[in-house]
Amino acid sequence: MISSLMRMFRIERVFVKYGLDELFLQGTKANALRYIFLLSPTRWLNKELRERPRGERIRLALEELGPVFVKLGQVLSTRRDLLPDDIYQELALLQDKVKPFDGEVARSAVEAALGKSTDELFASFDVQPMASASIAQVHPAVLKTGEEVVVKVLRPDIAQLIDRDVGLMYTMASFASKILEDGKRLRPVEVVSEYDRTIHDELDLVLEATNASVLKKNFDEFDTLYIPEVYWDLTRTNVITLERIYGIPIRDVDAMHAINMDMKKLAEHAVEIFYTQVFHHNFFHADMHPGNIFVSDKNPSHPQFIAVDFGIIGSLTEEDQRYIGENMLAFFNRDYRRVAQLHVDSGWVPRDTRVSEFETAIRSVCEPIFDKPLIEISFGQVLMQLFQTARRFEMEVQPQLVLLQKTLLNIEGLGRQLYPDLDLWATGKPFLTDWMLKRNDPKVIGKKLMSSVPDALKLLPDMPNLVHGFLAEQGESGQRRRAEEQAALLKTQQSTRQTIVGGSVTVASAALSAGSMAASGSAGIPTLGIIGIVIGSVMLLRGLWQ
């Protein structure tokens, strides 16, 4: 508790130091917090910092707050269409320009992990890092056999730092779930739990090496994505050694134009790679921000992506994969009735949702975006409208889909940057149609049925008891339901008699009740003020993950 309070005070000081209190409190009713900030000595001691450009102030604050907040900035920096240009330009620097730690400390960590000196392990090892990120940094090296490699080393004490900040996020998420009007639907604790799992996965570099190997095997027969080789004998939990790759950073569009890169085909390859990973392999790179993506310059007419950093990988359950695929295909076909029904069937909206109303709401949001090139589509506005629709129909955030949503946003941002006229629908629809046909192929269905036979045979001896238990449960449920209906009917009858006898008293009470409900219904989401800033990662990721 003391540690969390100290961290909260530090976050407050950092936000005031860089003038973010005024930036984030604009348009709110948190007047009491404004007065508190006015009294903060941090405000008067950092006047020069508070006067710097807002984008620079946000970046500096995130860097000072550490890895969890840097990750938040990285997520935001993929959404150029949603951010003012000055903020985007600064947040983009978080992707590969985080302040490095001492290279000699990195060398010592490598030697301790691998049990030998770097002189014994490598022909050369450069203590000057070639890249530094929020979780680790990368050093170039050359093996004794002459191959060029990169050695990625975790930051010192990074696990403890992440545990501290994620623990605070849990506390704030629990608080938010209680005071937010739609806290139940947004499920902030579950979202933090999902984020907790993914960021801790990044701390295990053996897991990252495994992810890289699986992706490489999956794309062995494809020429659109290249994954570097893993050197397993030089890999441990906190150290990973990979083949060094050379390519054009995905942000360097001018360099690609200079060699006459086919930008349309490059953007189409990005979309195809996404669909292949999600629906064919069900194993997708879930951290595809620009700092992790390069393009080979070897064949500009048939461009190839090169991916690095495999700490965050996503996958879906078979049911979620099916619902997502069918939803996307229904969107492409403008079958909004099917989209609405799938949401009900999956349990993403309450079972008593009126499908016809939900269909109309989805149609009003999505219909305007079709038949337009990517450059003319405001996905930011579409997301906001879908969020409002989700609130109205009590749709809950699905934590297991957060990585997929994040990856979708990354791909859309990448496509916009490479080829603004890309037709996402024409590129994606054929792939999804083919996937659906293969999924429903009788041979595939037959194989699934045959694979389930052994499990079914195991249950066969217990089947009579299972059926009896199910029917008994349904009977008890029906009796409870009938009893509840009778109690409700009796209560209604009693209320009617009271109305006849009570007359004007009942009318007055009803008016008072109606006024109270109206006042309650007019209340918006409670303003969190600086507490909302403290859990900025929860609140901002809530916007990229709707």
CA distance 439 to 445: 8
User: Of 287, 335, 421, 441, which one is the catalytic site residue?
Assistant: 287
CA distance 523 to 215: 49
Asked if 395 contacts 185 with a C-beta cutoff of 8 angstroms, the reply is: yes
CA distance 113 to 75: 31
Query: What are the tokens at 334?
Result: 């403008």
| Three-state DSSP class for residue 99 | coil
Q: Is 314 exposed, middle or buried (0-12, 13-18, 19+ CB in 10 A)?
A: buried
Strand 239-243 with 136-143, pairing: unpaired
Query: Any idea what DSSP says for residue 281?
Result: I
The one-letter amino acid at 481: R
Q: Which of 428, 424, 416 is nearest to 324 (CA)?
A: 428
Asked if 96 contacts 32 with a C-beta cutoff of 8 angstroms, the reply is: no
CA distance 192 to 196: 6
Query: What are the tokens at 112?
Result: 């301790």
Query: What are the tokens at 161?
Result: 């730092």
Beta strands in 222-288 (DSSP E): 225-226, 239-243, 248-249, 284-285
Distance of CA 545 to the CA centre of its chain: 5
Q: Which helix (H) or strand (E) holds 69?
A: helix 67-77
Instruction: Enumerate the β-bridge partners of residue 143.
Output: 122
Phi, psi (rounded to 5 degrees) for 440:
-95, 10
Q: Could you tell me the CA-to-CA distances from 529 to 186, 309, 535, 537, 543 in Å, in that order?
A: 18, 35, 10, 14, 17
Q: At what angle do helices 158-179 and 536-544 cross, to 10 degrees?
A: 70
Q: Could you tell me the CA-to-CA distances from 271 to 255, 291, 464, 482, 517 in Å, in that order?
A: 21, 18, 50, 53, 48
For this structure, is 287 an active site residue? yes
CA distance 310 to 219: 14
Query: What are the tokens at 413?
Result: 């941002």
Q: At what angle do helices 158-179 and 188-201 cross, to 10 degrees?
A: 170
Q: At what angle do helices 424-439 and 263-275 cross, to 10 degrees?
A: 30
Query: What are the tokens at 258?
Result: 């200079």
Beta strands in 89-238 (DSSP E): 122-125, 131-132, 136-143, 148-154, 225-226
Known catalytic residues are 287
